[in-house]
Homo-oligomer: A and B are copies of this chain.
Amino acid sequence: MRGKETTLEELARELGGRVEGDPLAVVRGLNTLTDALEDEVTFLTDIKYKGLLKDSKALAVIADRAVRGVDKSFIITENPSLGYAKAVAHFAAKPLPEPGLSPRAEVAGSAKIGRDVAVMPFAYVGERAVIGDFCVLYPHTYVGRDSSVGEGTILFPGAVVMDEVKIGRNVVLHPNAVVGSDGFGYARDKEVYVKIPQVGTVEIEDGVEVGAGTTIDRASLGVTRLGRGTKIDNLVQVAHNVVTGENCILVGQCGLSGSVTLGKNVIVAGQAGVAQRLSIGDFAVIAPKAGVAKPVARGQQVAGVPAIDARVHLKALTVFKDLPELKRALRSLRKKVEQLRKKVDEG
């Protein structure tokens, strides 16, 4: 990626790092170790790739320390991943659509649109909805009546915000994400299911991202809430009345059932699921494909279906593939014991 030309010194300042090497060298882009050009900066976020450094054409490297015997400049920073993120932001400068209200958008007369908002063709904004400054509503987005969207929030194409939902600032709804659909709630009347109207709402706090095709249901009563800074990948299901703390990570295709509560900084890995009403403590980690069927304590790591402590699960797994051997061994031992018994009885 090519972008805004800068000296290493300036770039290091933006990244909160310091230069080892030529501070006045000029960089014009950023790329991977293997793809970087002679005037580009690269990054070493995992020391195991350090062998690729010597063949890299890159002028400079973002790393947590200089690597000996490599004839390159370094930008040294404690957190090279973060440095990399900032460097990408420096060079990327992805242009957002120009502000402006397309005459082909449909905006209710009672809606309030902030300043410098882009409302693109075929976007729809309902009665009394409020759209904050600097928002972008791409084509085919829907903001229902009485909903609000905070400053700087982006709705990518096809994103849906149903009625009476509250979205914070600097939130991103990726394409075809849905917020505020009905929770899955029915009362059973003999063999028939009778719908319980879903009259709660959703609140999405500042800085949350909702992945493409992900669905966030509104609460039955009360509120489904996504805590500040929570990041959600694609095709994730968040059911009615779920509440997450700040900075949770929900990886692709995982699902949270109704009324699940996550603490802060919880990680739910890909294709995992959590059963209804369970509470998951701060900093807990749920392994990929786990099926959580009881509460998880603060900091605990769980795996398996149903999920148990991840280390216990790992030990059991190592035996799993030996089960046929185990069964044979038991059978053969049983025979030996039987022979022995006969011998003892006879002798």
Contact B196 A88 (CB under 8 A): yes
Q: Does A300 contact B (CB under 8 A)?
A: no
A56 close to chain B: CB less than 8 A: no
Question: How far does the Cβ of A97 sit from chain B's closest Cβ, in whole Å?
Answer: 9
Contact A265 B191 (CB under 8 A): yes
Which of A32, A81, A121, A178 has the most chain B CB within a 10 Å cutoff? A178
Please name all residues of chain B whose beta carbon is closer than 8 Å to the beta carbon of A288 when the two chains form the complex.
Answer: 273, 275, 291
Chain B residue with the shortest CB-CB distance to A308: B321
In residues 93-140 of chain A, which contact B (Cβ within 8 Å)?
94, 102, 104, 106, 120-122, 124, 138-140
Which of A79, A106, A237, A306 has the most C-beta atoms of chain B within 10 angstroms of its own C-beta? Answer: A237
User: Which of B89, B121, B312, B340 sits near A321, CB closer than 8 Å?
Assistant: B312
What mask results when residues 45 to 78 of chain A are scored 1 for a CB within 8 Å of chain B, else 0? Answer: 0000000000000000000000000000000000
Q: How far is it, in angstroms, between the C-alpha of A182 and the C-alpha of B214 when the chains are bound? A: 13
Q: Are B321 and A234 touching (Cβ within 8 A)?
A: no
> A317 to chain B: which residues have CB within 8 Å?
306
Given A122-B122, A327-B326, does the pair A235, B215 have CB atoms closer than 8 Å? Answer: yes
Task: Say yes or no: is A4 at the interface (Cβ < 8 Å to chain B).
Answer: no
User: Are the CB atoms of B252 and A189 closer together than 8 Å?
Assistant: no
Q: Knowing A158-B140, A257-B252, A319-B323 touch, does A182 contact B191 (C-beta < 8 A)?
A: no
| Interface status of A194 (Cβ within 8 A of chain B) | yes
Alpha-carbon distance A184/B270, docked complex (angstroms): 12
14 contacts between A and B (CB under 8 A): A35-B221, A83-B187, A94-B197, A94-B199, A158-B176, A160-B176, A162-B175, A175-B178, A176-B215, A184-B211, A184-B252, A211-B215, A288-B291, A319-B326
